[in-house]
Structure 1
Amino acid sequence: MSQTLSRGLQVLELLAREGRPLTAQEMAKSLGLSRPIVYRLLHTLAQHHLLSNEVENGRYDLGLGLLSLSRSVQKDLRSAAFPIIKSLVHQLDTTAVLGLRDGDEVVYVLAVEPEFARMAVRSREGTRRPIDDSTSGLALRLTLEPSPDDDEELRQARAKGFAARHIVIDYQATAIAAPIPSFPGPSDACVTVLFPNVIDDIDDKAAVIVEAAQRVARVVRI
């Protein structure tokens, strides 16, 4: 593995995770690197327009060059899924996201929030959640072959065909996720709906979400 390339990617991942501009000193501290190394990385990334240093107080932010790189990433999936996800948001009046498996994480490649809801869960595209400890991850894992090591939560989710938890990003709320069917083999994509409070009619809401996930599968090949 290229150490320099890995460090440069860590800088981009840190800025994406923090969601705000950072100074070189802040990045060096977070990444455990010396400031001279971080400055060299920042200079190189800025030359390729992946970083912007046109931020006050010596802070750096993600650059517009990333847009040209990300524009084609899962473009067909996002384009095909968007009207379905938007319709789901309108129907349930809450936030919905499209998640893709990336190693041992689920990354949200599409997030749609309701326009006029009094209260909604905010979610950014690029947000990552662990496969083993998230509702989205549970939805993907339920499509795996059953194992004697499966816990009760996974067995129940597999029996129902969807995952549900009364916690959203460490808050008491409700998340419901349905895998997007993939044949053959386990699913690598899911639709997750995030409710800002704890709801009781999970099965009714889940039926709508499962149907939306099936519609996505029909219009795009995962």
Structure 2
Amino acid sequence: MSLSSGSPAPHSQTLSRGIRMLEILADSEEPLTIAALSGHLGVHRSIAYRILRTLEDHGLVTRDAAGAVQLGPRMAALARGVSRDLQTAALPELTLAANELGMTAFVTVLDGNEVVTLVSVEPRHAHATVAQRPGTRHPLAVGAPGIAIQSGLGAAQWAELGHDEARRSEAGGVRNVGFARSHNEVISGLSSIAVPLMISGRAPAALAVVYISSAHAPAFIGARLAAAAEVIAAELR
């Protein structure tokens, strides 16, 4: 029996589960057992183990002496290829901003209805910094990077996202003050400031910092990020 020309191609359930396993490991703060992975996936341990072995063969996951699973070094190599030119253009500016402000600086991009960290840099000489791992994601509706990205979306782009809720009211203010702020939204106790990074033909993005406390005024931080965003955008035009 053949599929009609109008029927969509069937999805690969195994591939979908493998990708989901990688997402689960990326979101975990510590290595996971096969039992935990099978529970997250909702499949029998034997199925989870077969998926794991395939990912392991490709270097995408590794297991420690106790058998716990974590992402492998091959994942880092793959990640470097994602928006490579944006990462290359952003890295020098992120490094300068991180060291001048004494806080972790990073670029996020819009992925569906979520904001994903693409690349981040921690300051060299700060006493305490906040780690912002590439691949970290959170809903578009929360956090300064999400607000900054919302501020740059046109009505048609917003409609395409299919959000049930309205756009954050703070997004409109970004056009006036130049930056977005948040506190206690994504991670309790942390503050973030972000500016839009909108480049024609690319996914909407934001340049941001995250910190516990700072002697710098928010307007100063916002202006520093805006200057960095201009340099990054100019490099990619």
Q: Could you say whether these structures have the same fold, taking a TM-score greater than 0.5 normalized by the shorter chain as the test?
A: yes
Which residue in the other structure is 2:8 paired with? none
Q: Could you list the runs of 5+ residues in structure 2 that have no partner in the other structure?
A: 1-10, 159-165
Distance 1:31 1:21 in 2: 15
Which residue in the other structure is 1:44 paired with? 54
1:206 Cα offset (Å)? 0.8
Q: Which amino acid in 1 is paired with 2:88?
A: S
* 1:114-153 pair list within 5 angstroms: 114-145=123-154, 149-153=166-170
Which one is further off, 7-16 or 197-206?
197-206
Q: Tell me, yes or no, if structure 1 residue 178 matches structure 2 residue 195.
A: yes
Which residue in the other structure is 2:162 paired with? none
Q: Tell me, yes or no, if structure 1 residue 196 matches structure 2 residue 205.
A: no
Q: Tell me, yes or no, if structure 1 residue 100 matches structure 2 residue 109.
A: yes
For 1:76, what is the secondary structure of its paired residue? helix
> Which residue among 114, 120, 142 is the counterpart of 1:111?
120
Distance 1:112 1:200 in 2: 19
Which residue in the other structure is 1:18 paired with? 28
Distance 2:141 2:16 in 1: 24
Which one is further off, 197-206 or 117-126?
197-206
1:140 Cα offset (Å)? 0.6
Query: Where does structure 1 differ by over 4 angstroms across 4 or more consecutive aligned residues?
Result: none
Which residue in the other structure is 2:70 paired with? 61
> Which residue among 31, 44, 65 is the counterpart of 1:34?
44
Q: Tell me, yes or no, if structure 1 residue 76 matches structure 2 residue 85.
A: yes
1:215 Cα offset (Å)? 1.1
For 1:83, what is the secondary structure of its paired residue? helix
Size of the alignment, in residue pairs? 218
TM-score by length of 1: 0.89
Distance 2:142 2:86 in 1: 25
Which one is further off, 153-162 or 93-102?
153-162
Q: Could you list the runs of 5+ residues in structure 1 that have no partner in the other structure?
A: none
